[in-house]
Structure 1
């Protein structure tokens, strides 16, 4: 049976790129770390790190061993936290990644409340529209909005919310152009489009019937708030997420066209690596986000001050 402490030493030495840096981080002399690594290599019978007084390089088998050793330590940490989590409140750092719209309109009002409820949890939010490698980059939770299904990976996926798209315009615009009574009457209306390649809006009703509406492009922007504000200003009709428009519809700033029809919506999904998701601090944060994000956003979350 391998010594778990020796695995910890090896992982820390690799993570810090050398014995001296690992020794400083752990508060242990580098000679002690070197000795423990030598004992580990002797036990398993292979060289994990090639080192001289001037060089330090992890061997190919050492890289493979590091990946599994790091996973084993996470499992051990999770096992320890299962017990501690019964006796004490969750603690530690939880790293979250999310795209800009989710961070601005959903997480911004939620995370401070979560941090106040759990003062021993340290939250780190990284806002990025790129698809990160959660395992390699060390993220505990990712929140993603997506139209197509996410790739089938080893990550835990929890679908939180589905938000269909609505056709919306200002009351002034509809007073000038007239309210269409059906999809065919919406053809040719001024379109506020997310892309110059968008030519039609594909809509479905509750029975699954499908239609296409062809607007006349009037304004193009690849940013959701800009599209919403253009519709609010009376430039034309936009096809936007229903929850994003609902508060303005309540105030009368926007009006929904063809309320029996909706466009393809966006799903909100929470993702976690299997092992990290077992830590009590990560579990608490994930449960909170799943519960809160499954609710429609409030008006204060979505409306910008006038």
Structure 2
């Protein structure tokens, strides 16, 4: 079997164009490089380098061997780096961007625990609903909630949570207005909508049947917490992500409406540039968020 150190010496000689330069780069005598390359050739029973006092060129076999040797060295370096990154203590700054609802639901509760777990980690959270260019603006991680798949942007994408959007209302509202039995009966109920233009809910039954419901517009808000509080106050029926209203459901502030129907699904995806995912601090943050968001989704499903 070949000696990996011989591959290192051979590759350095090729890249530096000679034994003396390779020796200087590696901090070893020229004679050591020359001797080890000669022994490598003897072991392979093939001439890899044509060398004279004035020239240093690869043979055809040498060129092929160098390509494979370099690939092997790259894989060796990657293997070593992967171990070092996993055992390294996460440190440094990690810049995260997320929308307001995502920060409120997922990050506000969990990020302090991450900071306590890794004291050398400096977390920087930017909460904004505008589209952020991760690469240009220097962010390490973005959490994005979306209904349709994200476009292929060349960024790393990791789906963390897929939530059902459920219909909910306060028990006091349902006592006063009655519990709808079918989607068509929602037209006789007050709806809490995401915008003045979003007047209809597209619903799907657990068996695949689809229906459209048009409630009476009582209030609209493009922010989930406002809709949640309005529903708890008894203003009408709202469509909200299951985990977002899980606590209110457990506390009895809200009740499921048409539990066999849902208003679609929303996915929360972690997005990051390829190069940032190799840093121990970013890797630790990603794994922590994946665990926490998974627990949040299970809690929401349990509340239902």
Q: Which residue of 2 aligns with 1:166?
A: 166
User: Matched residue pairs, number?
Assistant: 225
Query: 1:169, 1:256 within 8 Å by CA — same for their partners in 2?
Result: yes
Give the corresponding residue for 1:290: 290
Rounded Cα–Cα distance in structure 2 between residues aligned with 1:148 and 1:86: 34
Instruction: Please give the alpha-carbon distance, in whole angstroms, between the structure 1 residues aligned to 2:120 and 2:83.
Output: 17
Q: Which runs of 5+ in 1 are unaligned?
A: 3-77, 300-306
**Residues 287 and 87 of structure 1, relative CA distance in 2, 3 Å threshold:** closer
- Aligned partners of 1:161 and 1:298: how far apart in 2? 10
Q: Does structure 1 residue 120 correspond to structure 2 residue 129?
A: no
Q: Corresponding residue for 2:3?
A: none
Aligned to 2:218: 218
Tell me what 1:252 maps to: 252
Identify the residue that residue 24 of structure 1 maps to in structure 2.
Answer: none
CA distance in 2, matches of 1:233, 1:86: 48
Question: Counterpart of 1:266?
Answer: 266
Displacement after TM superposition at 1:272 (Å): 1.1
1:227 lines up with 2:232 in the alignment: no
- Say whether 1:243 aligns with 2:256: no
Structure 2: distance between partners of 1:87 and 1:271: 24
Number of the residue aligned with 1:150: 150
Q: Could you tell me how far 1:105 is from its partner in structure 2?
A: 2.2
Q: Label 1:281 to 1:212 Cα distance change in 2 as closer, same or farther (>3 A).
A: same
Cα deviation, residue 150, structure 1? 1.1
Task: Give the aligned CA root-mean-square deviation in angstroms.
Answer: 2.3
Give the Cα separation in 1 of the matches to 2:82 and 2:93.
16
The within-5 A match list for 1:1-306 is 82=82, 84-85=84-85, 88-296=88-296
What SS is found at the alignment partner of 1:123? strand
| Equivalent-residue separation in structure 1 for 2:226 and 2:276 (angstroms) | 37
Distance 1:191 1:88, change over 3 A: closer
SS in 2 for 1:271: strand
SS of residue in 1 equivalent to 2:181: coil
CA distance in 1, matches of 2:192, 2:208: 25
Are the counterparts in 1 of residues 145 and 268 from structure 2 also a CA contact under 8 Å?
A: yes
Asked if 1 retains the 8 angstrom alpha-carbon contact of 2:86 and 2:280, the reply is no
Change (3 A) 1:86 1:257: closer
* CA-to-aligned-CA distance 1:240-298 (integer Å, 9 cap, x gap): 11111222122211111100000022110001111111112211111111111122269
Distance 1:114 1:81 in 2: 24
SS in 2 for 1:186: helix
- Which 4+ residue blocks in structure 1 deviate beyond 6 angstroms? 78-81
Shift of 1:111: 1.2
Q: Gaps (5+ residues) in structure 2?
A: 1-14, 17-77, 300-304
Calculate the TM-score normalised by the size of structure 2.
0.69
Secondary structure at 1:289's aligned position in 2? helix
